[in-house]
């Protein structure tokens, strides 16, 4: 294992080869628009105030803390489903629980880059990970596509999806989350802040997941199932062991191969797929100490789709720019789609 986490992150395999096309990503926040798609529609009645919030260059947790302070409630009384990009313009729901006392005058709420678009009521708090998907409207500027490569790649992505890598933002600025994970898991250093500790552990599991995905892409097996492999039903957290020929369902993007989110393993999950189990152990051989530490913490072992289906992908070429529109299920990263299309010019790195 290496301490040069940033360099190692850059070596993850590409599904369609390293792009020769260059473009600038997130040149302005308006180039990266994100809209949360919730399964639940607020009823208009209940103890929880739901706020449809539009924010520009603001951190989701900072907005949540500002809402708590304004409403004079504890941070735990604020709910939101997912963290949204900072260098972007995003729209998402927040919930505020204040069943007693004077209710906030939300028209008076002020925060730079933040506006309340809609205020309603519902009977339940918004819990983490409960939104269905995110809709993206992205503009890649300063596009340099001398050979018309983008169109071919977009057609491949539309048909076959992309590797479901956790994006670089999961690992922090210059992969600082991984350096903290190494200190916590391998050196025994403590992290007293509960939220930071959770973030660091999540980064470590995501890193290990990405290593397996990269090996599947590199070996050409990311578009097929190993016999008995746990398969993910598209758009859900449902996983089942593929004991029959599911090649047509894989080809149609109805189900996906999976990779592990490391934790205390239920041996029955992989007992029907000894070949893949041994391969994954081999691919993660350099990380056994980190894996053992994660297992000792009692984290739940899970399987996650190693392929992203890019839903309703459309695109338009503008003057020296490419505009993309698509949806991804919650927890999947638009940057993993962009990665297969363009690289940023060296002067921007």
List, in order, residues 6 or more apart from 17 with CB less than 8 Å away: none
Q: Show the tokens assigned to 172.
A: 């922090």
DSSP alpha helix (H) spans, the chain: 5-9, 60-71, 149-160, 176-186, 194-219, 247-251, 274-283, 288-296, 334-339
Q: In this structure, what are the phi and psi dihedrals at residue 256, rounded to the nearest 5 degrees? A: -135, 150
Q: Which of 348, 332, 317 has the alpha carbon at shortest distance from 140?
A: 317
Query: How is 146-195 classified by DSSP, letter by letter?
Result: TT-HHHHHHHHHHHH-EE-PPPGGGG-GGGHHHHHHHHHHHS------HH
Q: Which of 88, 338, 137, 299 has the alpha carbon at shortest distance from 202?
A: 299
Q: Which of 241, 283, 271 has the alpha carbon at shortest distance from 258?
A: 241
Tally of residues, the chain: 349
Question: Where in the sequence numbering do the catalytic residues fall?
Answer: 85
Contact (Cβ atoms closer than 8 angstroms) between residue 333 and residue 9: no
What 3-state class would DSSP assign to 211?
helix
List, in order, residues 6 or more apart from 277 with CB less than 8 Å away: 270
What 3-state class would DSSP assign to 260?
strand
Give the number of C-alpha atoms closer than 13 A to the C-alpha of residue 129, restricted to the C-beta side.
4
List, in order, residues 6 or more apart from 19 with CB less than 8 Å away: 149, 153, 340, 341, 342, 343
Query: Residue 341 and residue 14: Cα distance in Å, rounded?
Result: 10
Q: Show the tokens assigned to 53.
A: 């919030």
């Amino acid at each position: 294992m290496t301490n040069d986490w940033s360099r190692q992150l850059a070596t993850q395999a590409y599904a369609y080869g390293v792009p020769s096309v260059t473009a600038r990503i997130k040149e302005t926040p308006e180039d990266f628009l994100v809209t949360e798609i919730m399964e639940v529609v607020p009823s208009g009645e209940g103890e929880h105030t739901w706020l449809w919030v539009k924010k520009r260059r603001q951190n989701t947790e900072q907005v949540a803390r500002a809402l708590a302070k304004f409403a004079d409630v504890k941070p735990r009384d604020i709910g939101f489903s997912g963290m949204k990009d900072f260098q972007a313009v995003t729209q998402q729901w927040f919930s505020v629980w204040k069943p007693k006392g004077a209710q906030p005058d939300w028209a008076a709420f002020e925060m730079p880059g933040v506006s309340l678009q809609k205020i309603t009521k519902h009977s339940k708090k918004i819990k983490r990970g409960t939104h269905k998907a995110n809709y993206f409207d992205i503009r890649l500027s300063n596009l340099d596509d001398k050979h018309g490569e983008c169109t071919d790649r977009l057609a491949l992505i539309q048909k076959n999806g992309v590797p479901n890598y956790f994006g670089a933002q999961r690992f922090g600025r210059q992969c600082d989350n991984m350096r903290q994970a190494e200190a916590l898991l391998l050196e025994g250093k403590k992290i007293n802040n509960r939220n930071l500790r959770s973030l660091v552990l999540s980064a470590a599991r995501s890193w290990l997941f990405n290593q397996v995905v990269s090996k599947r892409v590199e070996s050409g097996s990311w578009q097929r199932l190993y016999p008995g492999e746990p398969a993910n039903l598209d758009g859900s957290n449902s996983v089942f062991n593929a004991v029959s020929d599911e090649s047509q369902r894989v080809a149609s993007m109805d189900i996906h191969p999976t990779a592990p989110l490391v934790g205390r393993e239920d041996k029955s999950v992989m007992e029907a797929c000894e070949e893949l189990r041994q391969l994954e152990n081999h691919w993660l051989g350099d990380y056994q100490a980190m894996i053992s530490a994660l297992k000792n913490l009692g984290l739940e072992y899970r399987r996650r789709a190693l392929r992203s289906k890019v839903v309703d992908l459309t695109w338009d070429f503008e003057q020296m720019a490419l505009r993309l529109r698509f949806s991804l299920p919650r927890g999947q990263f638009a940057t993993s789609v962009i990665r297969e299309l363009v690289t940023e010019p060296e002067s921007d790195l």
